[in-house]
Amino acid sequence: MAENAKLAKWAELASKQMKGKSVDTLDWMTPEGIKVKALYTAEDLDGLDALNTMPGMAPYTRGPMTTMYAGRPWTIRQYAGFSTAKESNAFYHKALAAGQKGLSVAFDLATHRGYDSDHPRVAGDIGKAGVAIDSVEDMKILFDGIPLDQMSVSMTMNGAVIPILAGYIVAAEEQGVSHDQLSGTIQNDILKEYLTRNTYIYPPGPSMRIISDIMAFCSKTMPKYNTISISGYHMMEAGANSVLQTAFTLADGVEYVRAALKSGMDVDTFAPRLSFFFGIGMNFFMDIAMLRAARFLWHRLMSEFNPKNAKSSMLRTHCQTSGWSLTEQDPYNNIIRTTLEAMSAVLGGTQSLHTNSFDEAIGLPTDFSARIARNTQIIIQEESQVCHVVDPLGGSYYIESLTNSIIDEAQKIIDEIAGLGGMAKAIESGMPKMRIEESAARKQARIDQGLDVIVGVNKYKLTDEKIDFEVREVPATVRDEQVARLKEIKASRNQAAVDKALADLTAAAQNDGNLLEAALPAVRARATVGEISDAMEAVFGRFVATTRCISGAYSSEFHSDNSVFNAIKERTNVFLEKQGRRPRLLVTKMGQDGHDRGFKVIASAYADLGFDVDISPMFQTPEEAAKMAIENDVHVVGASSLAAGHKSLIPSLIEELKKIGGQDIIVVAGGVIPPADYDFLYKAGVKAIFGPGTPIPVSADKTLSLLEEKYLK
């Protein structure tokens, strides 16, 4: 029977089962704008022969390696780092003993932004969202007892990439390990920082030069080391759907290739060492297809540069399960979410994988939760039998069709970016950032209405929920330990040698010297991360982004007759009538946390609900946030916290408001705040706390109630 005859017969039977309804009603439109049918057949593969070559063969849709996991399983990595180098080192040793195969280092936000631990701007950030590294002495402790000639080390670092990579190299030297023995990856992807994560230091121009300098140095001296991991993960976490993540990540990659070629490098010298980093969410088949599409597209894009080495156009990737998909509510559900996301990455053909811990919507991972996350990968690898077949989903009607749809949609965006002059120019125009923020706002609106189900949040909610597991807390004494170590290092080093090395680094920045090579003598002399960053900042300056708020995206997902949305908007109008102005909200992020999805979505949604909304610049101190609140004459300050600095930064904000006459301004808080800390914040003066998963209409209702009680009674 021909395929169309089979399909007609199926439609007839399905219509009977559905009591006369057309099977077209089963079709689904994804957030990416891709139509998904209820049934796929062989006819959906017509014309898609180019996708379905063999694994290890161009265009690598079925995997970059010929035998994939049947020959060698993916590398199990766990992104980890917290508190001091000593504590992180102990954590690494336990993880390696338990089956982890490579290290993936998380640095604290002060380190990311090029500040030493004693800098006044970072008092609430030390050791909170990663390990604090101030000098090579910390780096040596971090890798104590871990042979760097045998261990692959991945480091997520972009802003302060020069002092951190130089510190790793010198720590290896002092272990007796030569440069050519080092293996691993430095993220070194600055373009996505301007889009989403925001842990930049310098303007785009100098930052692109830093990337080229690292590529040039490592290509000559560190042939086993991957000089860049082009990251879509943070785009996904900021709200990008799978098509946006694919398009923007690959466009970033092309921009880096062009920068390296412009610096005089041959494409086959650096391109084989490029790697990618994709985020995997809860759209199971979509993200499998995304990885396949990305490999196809990268091969197509690299053909423009005429590489001679096949590896130059072979996309290899690390993946991480989503942190954003984790919920504070009914948190053990997160184990299931992470397992599904891990399987999606594996079936999509990742080369290495990190699985998030179930408690990360509440606090930092504990040893207990990290073990479950790691064992998730081990069980998939050792018990599920998926490693015995190369590309088990190859040839699937649905997967192949979905892959082709992502290729087509992502290519349109890549072409649009090329028309703007490349990704750097596109970023300057604001296009990618606005697309991601619009996608995030639309997603939140669908969740708030229950259109996109989040089990335990907007469906199947527990009536009486308590957090009954340990939450890791990094004590404030970590900063004291780091500051003491800094004083000790500065007292014992040869200051003249430090001064000369830093001056030479500044001269290299002014001229055309290789910045990584110039930083090595400074690291060996015990210059600090902050001092090395400052030596380049003296020439490059520090980048300050413009913060903008999109409008209309959140409200566009609500029907005009939505009673909840309309009721809140009516109340903001009543407030306007009675007070002569709308309720005014300042949304702020204090400290060095650059993840801005939450506070951008809040700002956009509250504006659509009728609030006047001000958005603070990133990286405010409590003093700066309080001053802005007074100057803008706001009724409410909403403090967003994702990086465990809430117990120091938010009380400081409240105290600063009192000092400068803002004691009547209401302070509310949101983000990743452990419930055990709620009473502490309430006693400090916080009036409401909105944890992860709180529907925006619920938070807006509570905020309005506080304002109505204060101003309308």
Residue 233 bears catalytic tag: yes
Q: What tokens were used for 36? A: 């998904």
Q: Are 410 and 247 in contact (CB under 8 A)?
A: yes
Q: What tokens were used for 463? A: 């009536």
Can you tell me whether residue 155 is helix, strand or coil? strand
Cα gap 474→472, rounded to integer Å = 7
CA 251 to chain centre: 17
Cα gap 272→607, rounded to integer Å = 47
Given the residues 112, 299, 354, 589, select the one marked as catalytic: 589
Cα gap 317→246, rounded to integer Å = 12
Helical packing angle, 204-221 and 242-262, nearest 10°:
70
* Nearest CA-CA partner of 619 in 583, 643, 637: 643
Residue 234 bears catalytic tag: yes
Cα gap 370→378, rounded to integer Å = 12
* Nearest CA-CA partner of 387 in 100, 98, 76, 71: 71
Residues 6+ apart with CB under 8 A from 463: none
Residue 199, CA distances (Å) to 55, 413, 532, 635 in order: 37, 25, 17, 30
Given the residues 233, 256, 554, 606, select the one marked as catalytic: 233
Residue 179 bears catalytic tag: no
Cα gap 109→193, rounded to integer Å = 13
Residue 593 bears catalytic tag: yes
Q: What is the 3-state secondary structure (H, E, C) of 578-632?
A: HHCCCCEEEEEEECCCCCCHHHHHHHHHHHHCCCEEEECCCCECHHHHHHHHHHC
**Beta strands, E only, 72-183:** 75-80, 102-105, 153-155
Residue 134 bears catalytic tag: no
Residue 92 bears catalytic tag: no
Q: What is the 3-state secondary structure (H, E, C) of 494-555?
A: CHHHHHHHHHHHHHHHHCCCCHHHHHHHHHHCCCCHHHHHHHHHHHHCCCCCCCCCCCCHHH
Strands 75-80 and 666-671: unpaired
Cα gap 105→185, rounded to integer Å = 10
Strands 28-29 and 35-36: antiparallel
Helix, strand, coil shares of the chain as percentages rounded to 5? 55, 10, 35
Given the residues 595, 600, 646, 647, select the one marked as catalytic: 595
Q: What tokens were used for 208? A: 């692109």
Q: Which positions are annotated as active-site residues? A: 79, 233-234, 589, 593, 595
